[in-house]
Structure 1
Amino acid sequence: MASSLLRAASRRSKTSLIPPLSGLDPNLSVWQRFMCSNVRHGERRDGIGGFDLSEYPPDKIRNFSIIAHVDHGKSTLADRLLEVTGTIKKGLGQPQYLDKLQVERERGITVKAQTASMFYRHEPTNSNYLLNLIDTPGHVDFSYEVSRSLAACQGALLVVDAAQGVQAQTVANFYLAFESGLSIIPVINKIDQPTADPERVKAQLKSLFDLDPSGALLTSAKTGLGLENVLPAVVERLPGPSGKPDHPLRMLLLDSYYDEYKGVICHVAVVDGRLRKGEKIESSATGMSYEILDAGVMNPELKSTGVLYTGQVGYVVSGMRSTKEARIGDTLFHVKSTVEPLPGFKPAKHMVFSGLYPADGSDFDSLNHAIEKLTCNDASVCVSKETSTALGMGFRCGFLGLLHMDVFHQRLEQEYGANVISTVPTVPYIFEYSDGSKVELSNPATLASNPGKRVTACWEPTVIATIIIPSEYVGPVITLCSERRGEQIDYSFIDSQRVLMKYKLPLREIIVDFYNELKSITSGYATFDYEDSDYQKADLVKLDILLNGQPVDAMATIVHDLKAQRIGRELVAKLKKFIDRQMFEITIQAAVGSKIIARETLSAMRKNVLAKCYGGDITRKKKLLEKQKEGKKRMKRVGSVDIPQEAFNELMKVSNVK
């Protein structure tokens, strides 16, 4: 019945004025009547490309973001808001409409922040509003995407699961929005679940964030319950942009991605002034100028309008062809005008470094091309070229975390068909030498042993970790953090059942398997988030892996002195399982400096040279075996060892085990 009313409402809206909300069937629910009304309003489009953006001055614009912990319903809520405003049709297209990457669909996570412009009719004031919604990731590794999104917003919807309550990333995202000076509307989602306890969540919001519990919206994005209150709250409780329409143009470059036909497409927020197609703009960062070839809004696909006004968020095509030209956080302005550059936002800090090499050395150029394109879509990755004696030419890449690194590798393979080998992830260290000089290293292989230049001190990066767990798991979590050289900073109860703990931990102790082990010992109930802290002094040593006496630079790693021997033994044991046997003996060793701390031997494959001996003198058999032995020695001197990618993957799991 509701769908037939929707179709009827759609037909009427094209031929007549919009009937009042009260004109709908009174038997419909509030949610169905609300949605029908906004579908009709959403079809009243005119102007260039279907929209007349001049009707929306800054006081009729709301730029807001949806922030939450992983799997608290951000993308589903975004779907419902797009349907309410008629931006997308209900039931058509895929769920989580704004999650467009294949890796996002497969993993069920949001990796890339997406923007969508919605046209909404606010019934109490009988006014039309332009709402720019930005759906953000929830995982800790993609907090950079969240910080970029918040730079274009004046408010945020803080979504909290009614059953799970406040989680670690909820805390992190709240403070990101709070530091940006945004107005925050708490939304308690999934109230239709049997285990939902909205009152408990309201108490958590009050105690942790000092948010007024009476202002929290109760919703279920899955069923549509309570969603009729969300957009009115956005209009009434969030401020509009504070830009000046009569000032010279200033645009903030929020994001960019590469299109095969149009080149670099930039997502921008117009802070002051107005932009039209055909005008020339200049970059504050590079000094280069461009002509605007196209401009418009995301609705949610690209919709050309030819113009963008103050306070609006949209896209610009300016003919950029190089990925290095689109610098995230840059200020764009009209050529020959003088403006004060915008402050931008907090730059990305790379927490994990790893080497990327083509599986086939001849594919270096194609891998270089693929990484260039992908880094335009993901500006939070830093890339520099390097050479390994074991793997040839490749790249040293910096990532925001392990999941970020894994997603980057998966996108390289899925979107560009690249076949890559990745090395053991490391973190940036600072080493001080006997001559007083200091150097920051992200690649352990570059830490060469030089008798005339001895290392006298080392510093490693640390993080402040926030862990929220049920109270019955406090003991195992304290033990885990102590084993990882953690120092407790805070311990407090959120309510009678849940505990918030803060630890100062070395970054290298958490980058590989800490999160998985934390989930394991807490039966999946723990949530974890971290922010970077300062460097601290530590007893660190370089652990080398040697194959037949030759060091493999791609497998070198920095470890704590107390753990070196144990990690060395486990590394060589893992390698023995994954390296294929050759026609010659392979010696696998772990060494700290010139001291060998662990060794395994992979025996050689050999032909049965005694198969043709049926009885006879034993000296004949010994002669054949000695001859084979001499041949093996000669092969050992000239042989090379093939190392499969599985071996590198296993080394990642070993480097931080208990």
Structure 2
Amino acid sequence: MTSTDTSTAWRTRDDLRNIAIVAHVDHGKTTLVDAMLHQSGTFRENQDVANRVMDSMDLEREKGITILAKHTSVRAPATDERDEVLITIVDTPGHADFGGEVERALTMVDGIVLLVDAAEGPLPQTRFVLRKAMSMRAPGAAATQAAGVEATHLPMILVINKIDRPDARPAEVVDEVFELLFDLDVPEDAIDFPIVYTNAKAGTASLAADEPGTDLAPLFETILGTIPAPSYDAEAPLQALVTNLDASPYLGRLALCRVHNGTIRKGQQVAWIAEGGVTTRVKVVELFATEGLERVGVDSVGPGGICAVAGIDEVMIGDTLGDPEDPRALPAIRIDEPTLAMTIGINTSPLSGRSGDKVTARVLKDRLDRELVGNVALRVSPTERPDAWEVKGRGELQLAILVEQMRREGFELTVGKPQVIPQEIDGVRHEPLERVTVDVPEEHSGTVTQLVAERRGIMVAMTNHGTGWIRAEYHAPTRGLIGFRTEFLTATRGTGVLNRSFEEYVPWMGEVRTRASGSLVADRLGPATSFALQNLSDRGVMFVKPGEEVYEGMIVGENARGEDMDINVTKEKKLNNIRSATGEELVRLTPPKVMALEQCLEWIRGDECVEVTPDAVRLRKVELDQVQRAREAKRAKHDG
């Protein structure tokens, strides 16, 4: 370890760099990390390595997105000017719904690599992560203050990726990033940052857009020259912040820590400072550091290092590990409050228990409590029902991912419609507002603008790059955007691209138009028949196929009209002993509309919910009995 004085007590570790790669979804973060791992010698030349190796969850590979922030490390080899440097890289999610992972990851690092697509440019998540990075100080910012320099934000490197795209426009994208920084009102020194142009898929980087690169050496050198080495107080006691949690089948809960000051050693006694300042003396049973993709046992980890600590069963994110003789707590991790809530309860339909093995309220509550341990952006609160809980998160995708994970674990659930979480600010009711960015062909721009306006959206910018596509930005309430994606894709015939992220809280914006179509609801239990589905095909779009089991209150289709309709999809053709000329005709049915879990959550209304089992996702009414539903509708009409 090489140390350099910045003041009497402050030192820096020149053999370490900690960075986070942040970007909008699908701009190539994980692909770039793959290339950095390959070119740093982490893998053998003949080693078989999967693409996007950092996306280790099944859902991440299926959906092509990063859900959990994960870190790895690469070694920059020694040169004549410097020694070998260990670079710890944190790969963060690109979707705004998983912003809690980004906020937590930024507390581990001393700088960021902002990745932007050379054709798409900055998008909503780019704005979100930039705003967070510019509002956070690096863990060792006190050292720069001691040297007389005010550190108000994380240092940044701009990487323009996918420069090989035929529609790449790197110069314009760089200008857009500058405009975004000015729009965020960042400090003057934040405007001065290096720019690297990369093709992550080919593993090349260059310092000029018109000069093709041969490898990622320019990127590595830019990281070492721009991102500051971790700094620490040589006279301070041990301080390590728990930034994430993991689990081992042999060692139990693992606390992933960033060591701010001091050195943590295997077998030593440390002070575990929990929320509220409660201090407990515990032993570090095992200590691990990350080498490439592997965790390796080590004897000690010094300041600036990121490690995994075993032996503290009840440790939580935001806790501090300190010196038992002089325990000093670090500031807890601050996470933005959730903006969306939905109810998750046990499956109460007539078909419950047929495919899942986790169907009781106790097991469901235990699972939600376990999720809270590692997911800092979620909140769980009780409801009036003992078998259902209100789960709050950042967006529909985050909540849908949680439900999908539980479904694959064998749970059977009833999931309600997502609802926004209002706030009282100065005695006025406020609701979350989102920034919506759409890329659509020019011929659909008017239709999309009309759809957004119906949901209380306001256009704030429109750009036409002359390629036949336009980019429009809107401000719209989150409440109005629930269920908008399906309508948007229908209006643009599947060609439009929609991105959104939370912007701010604004005063309540009034009533918002909901789904225009009604529901076709089954009125009895039994299998759906071809005869009934053929006769009912004119009523709307069906969600079920012949032979599929239905029950009273289950939604089996979308009504072409605005009201709900109870129908019998189990009706069979009456048979007799008279031969008919048309009796043996083949029934040709339109294939049913199949919706994914996220689409189902967007589609339902307030009196509807989604039944989720390992084998099926079904739509249903909250109240299954049609007589009771009719009474409630009549009462609501009379009261209204």
- TM exceeding 0.5: yes
Alignment of 1:481 with 2:452, yes or no, is yes
After superposition, the Cα gap between the structure-2 partners of 1:64 and 1:412, relative to the gap in structure 1 and judged at 3 Å, is same
Instruction: Return the alpha-carbon distance in structure 2 between the equivalents of residues 126 and 537 of structure 1.
Output: 58
Determine the structure 2 residue equivalent to 1:410.
404
Per-residue CA deviations over 1:99-124 (Å, capped at 9, x if unaligned) read: 11111011111000001122222425
In structure 2, what is the equivalent of residue 18 of structure 1?
A: none
What is the SS of the residue equivalent to 1:575?
strand
Structure 2 match to 1:630: none
Report the equivalent of 1:221. Answer: 200
For 2:620 and 2:571, how far apart are their aligned partners in 1? Answer: 28
Note if contact 2:553-2:620 (Cα within 8 Å) is conserved in structure 1. no
| 8 Å Cα contact 2:288/2:307 also seen in 1 | yes
Shift of 1:468: 5.2
Residues 513-535 of structure 1: per-residue CA shift (max 9 Å, x gap)? 34761695396454422225225
Corresponding residue for 1:161?
Answer: 117
What residue number does 1:546 align with? none
Task: Give the distance between the partners of 1:71 and 1:136, measured in 2 at CA.
Answer: 12
Select the residue among 49, 68, 75 that pairs with 2:23: 68
Aligned position for 2:488 = 517
Partner of 1:172: 128
Distance 1:492 1:303, change over 3 A: same
Structure 1 residue 277 and structure 2 residue 266: aligned? yes
Which residue does 2:435 correspond to in 1?
Answer: 465
Distance 1:532 1:168, change over 3 A: closer
Report the CA distance between 1:188 and its aligned residue. 1.3
Displacement after TM superposition at 1:644 (Å): 5.5
Matched, 1:380 2:377: yes
1:230 to 202, 211, 219: 219
- CA distance in 2 between counterparts of 1:410 and 1:647 reads 10
Residue 3 of structure 1: aligned partner: none
Asked whether the equivalents of residues 464 and 505 of structure 1 are also in contact (C-alpha less than 8 Å), the reply is: yes
> Does residue 177 of structure 2 align to residue 205 of structure 1?
yes
Q: Secondary structure at the match of 2:453?
A: helix
Amino acid corresponding to residue 300 of structure 2 in structure 1 = V
- The 5-angstrom pairing of residues 398-437 of structure 1 reads 398-414=392-408, 416-429=409-422
CA separation of 1:305 and 1:200: change in aligned 2, threshold 3 A: same
State the match for 1:38 in structure 2: none
Matches within 5 A, 1:88-237: 88-89=43-44, 91-123=47-79, 125-180=81-136, 181-209=153-181, 215-226=194-205, 227-237=216-226
Q: Which amino acid aligns with 1:193?
A: R
Is the 2:447–2:491 Cα contact (8 Å) retained in structure 1?
no
Cα drift, residue 376 of structure 1: 2.8
Q: Name 2:320's counterpart in structure 1.
A: 331
- Alignment TM-score, normalising by the size of structure 1: 0.67
The corresponding residue for 2:634 is: none
Residues in 1 aligned to 2:464 and 2:107: alpha-carbon distance in whole angstroms: 30
- 2:289 paired residue number: 297
Name the structure 1 match of 2:565.
600
Counterparts of 2:575 and 2:496, CA distance in 1: 61
- After superposition, the Cα gap between the structure-2 partners of 1:178 and 1:606, relative to the gap in structure 1 and judged at 3 Å, is closer
Which is richer in helix? 1
Asked if structure 1 preserves the Cα contact closer than 8 Å seen for 2:346 and 2:414, the reply is yes
Matching residue's letter, 2:415:
S
Tell me, yes or no, if structure 1 residue 369 matches structure 2 residue 366. yes
Tell me if structure 2 keeps the 8 A contact 1:574–1:647: no
Alignment gaps of 5+ in structure 1: 1-44, 46-55, 433-437, 439-457, 541-559, 590-596, 613-641, 653-658
Greater Cα shift, 573-582 or 164-173: 573-582
1:345 aligned partner: 334
Does residue 521 of structure 2 align to residue 529 of structure 1?
A: no
Distance 1:651 1:478, change over 3 A: farther
* Deviation, structure 1 residue 481: 1.9
- Deviation of residue 169 (structure 1)? 1.9
Q: Residue 270 of structure 2 aligns to which amino acid in structure 1?
A: K
Alpha carbons of 1:650 and 1:111: their partners in 2 closer, same or farther (altered >3 Å)? Answer: farther
1:240 is paired with a residue whose SS is coil
**Separation (CA, whole Å) in 1 of partners of 2:346 and 2:553:** 25
How far apart, CA to CA, are the structure 2 residues paired with 1:644 and 1:493? 42
Task: Say if 1:506 and 1:206 are closer, same or farther in 2 by CA, change over 3 A.
Answer: closer
**Amino acid across the alignment from 1:310:** P
Shift of 1:588: 10
Residue-by-residue CA offset, 1:21-52 (whole Å, 9 max, x unaligned): xxxxxxxxxxxxxxxxxxxxxxxx9xxxxxxx
Aligned partner of 1:536: which letter?
P
Q: Please show how residues 565-576 of structure 1 align to structure 2 within 5 Å.
A: 570-571=517-518, 573-576=519-522
In structure 2, distance between residues paired with 1:333 and 1:254: 15
Contact kept? 2:263, 2:300, Cα under 8 Å:
yes
Measure how far apart 1:239 and its partner are: 0.9
After TM superposition, the structure 1 stretch with the greater mean CA deviation from structure 2, 337-346 or 72-81, is: 337-346
Deviations 1:257-280 (A, max 9, x none): 233332211111111111112222
More displaced 10-residue stretch of structure 1: 301-310 or 603-612: 603-612
Shift of 1:503: 3.8
What residue number does 1:452 align with?
none
Aligned counterpart, 2:605: none
Residues 258 and 376, structure 1, Cα contact 8 Å, conserved in 2: no
Partners of 1:511 and 1:385 lie apart in 2 by 23
Structure (1 or 2) with the larger CA radius of gyration:
1
After TM superposition, the structure 1 stretch with the greater mean CA deviation from structure 2, 287-296 or 262-271, is: 287-296
CA distance in structure 1 between the partners assigned to 2:325 and 2:490 by the alignment: 56
Could you tell me which amino acid in structure 2 is paired with residue 208 of structure 1?
Answer: L
Paired AA for residue 116 in structure 1: T
SS at match of 1:574: strand
Identical pairs, percent = 22
